[in-house]
Homo-oligomer: A and B are copies of this chain.
């Protein structure tokens, strides 16, 4: 690690490495970056929210100026489409806007200055940042959940310095975004360590940061394996720090009855949710329970057909592709009724689906876990009374969706929905789980392994709470 290690990013569309060389930070460079964030911590905790708000908007402006450069890096490094770039860029800008507005709103001001007089005591509760936060860039949202994605914006809005461990597979994109942030830092006269950018092809630097005394919290989005590794490093620290790891989810969908809207429409929505952008979303539905009726079988056939004909494409990076192929081949080996679409190019992945009866499904426990990519299991069920068992057998989930013809689903009366409320972060009626709204009432998280702490959300303005602590100031009124 003492000599600079060089590496390249990968162009999944061209199936080759990109020309530019990147260099992992040396341990000394890393330590210097951490120290910069310690210096910034002192300044930021005394900076007013209005200034932070202005800073977030300045980042937004600088991103817009660099949109073309960011776009070309994004397209070169991710295998995602131009239209997906447009959507994600818009969401990234929107997130900056939402937080900038929120922290300069009267609502936030009120929350941050609650006070009351109890006897002769005048007591005020103020919100303070917890300190430098490591954010680990996620590969599947190279903008909206990476460099200045949800975790970073939430941490900055909370007035915490961010140490961004850039994702090694979209480093050029990350550096373009970082350049926008650096310019905003300079324009707003913020301390340099407000945002630092750490480069490392492997996991060594993330491990060092996770164990570092000066780090006060971690935001992570990725696999369960990755999240658990971070948790293990943090457990070995002298003192605990909060980790919010958003990890795997199979996002079950229960078709309780085939809704009024035609099956064709429903099949299209489900297929899009499974296959769009190669299903590389944490909220991709991976498990759909469908009645074993004429209508249900018809729906299955439609989905199967749609998946087979849905445009194929490339995965985000070679590791992701390898993981997908590995899991898929295990499932295929165990199920002769497995369906793979034709691929357009050798380096594409197939859209896949498995139609299985609930009795068989029950014996294949690996079908209960996330397969990251364009794959879904359709489980035909005879007995709706067994749905509760199927849901109970799943671990904690980000989402659970229900489709039903009933105009109003009476939540308190449905044990299945009650169980879902206990198992997941978001319960959805008559909609697919993909497409997370960035708003005040969004809960993106859920019981383990959906997230490492179900009390917090990774999306929406409440996600700031991960990085904030309260302090009480007590004075005597005479």
A residues with a Cβ closer than 8 A to B are 45-46, 114-116, 118-119, 121, 123-126, 128, 130, 231, 235, 239-240, 242, 411-412, 418, 421-422, 424-431, 437, 439-443, 445, 447-449, 452-455, 457, 462, 465-466, 468-476
A242/B453 in contact, CB under 8 A: yes
B residues less than 8 Å from A424 (CB atoms):
471
Nearest-neighbor residue (CB-CB) of A439 within chain B: B118
CA separation between A447 and B213, bound complex, in Å? 13
B residues less than 8 Å from A470 (CB atoms):
425, 443, 455, 457, 462
B427/A130 in contact, CB under 8 A: no
A455/B130 in contact, CB under 8 A: yes
Nearest-neighbor residue (CB-CB) of A234 within chain B: B235
A253 → B minimal CB distance (Å): 13
Task: Give the number of copies in the complex.
Answer: 2
B residues less than 8 Å from A115 (CB atoms):
441
B235/A441 in contact, CB under 8 A: no
B residues less than 8 Å from A437 (CB atoms):
118-119, 121, 123, 474
Knowing A426-B472, A472-B443, the reply to whether A453 touches B240 (Cβ < 8 A) is: yes
A443/B125 in contact, CB under 8 A: yes
A124 → B minimal CB distance (Å): 6
Interface majority SS (helix, strand, loop, mixed), chain A? mixed
Nearest-neighbor residue (CB-CB) of A236 within chain B: B235
B471/A242 in contact, CB under 8 A: no
Knowing A128-B421, A448-B240, A471-B425, the reply to whether A476 touches B121 (Cβ < 8 A) is: no
B residues less than 8 Å from A431 (CB atoms):
121, 474-476
Contact of A441 among B114, B428, B455 (CB under 8 A): B114
Knowing A240-B452, A448-B239, the reply to whether A472 touches B442 (Cβ < 8 A) is: yes
B residues less than 8 Å from A231 (CB atoms):
240
B441/A125 in contact, CB under 8 A: yes
CA separation between A123 and B121, bound complex, in Å? 39
CA separation between A421 and B469, bound complex, in Å? 11
A123/B439 in contact, CB under 8 A: yes
9 A-B pairs (CB sep. < 8 Å): A46-B412, A123-B442, A240-B452, A425-B470, A427-B471, A428-B474, A430-B475, A447-B469, A455-B465
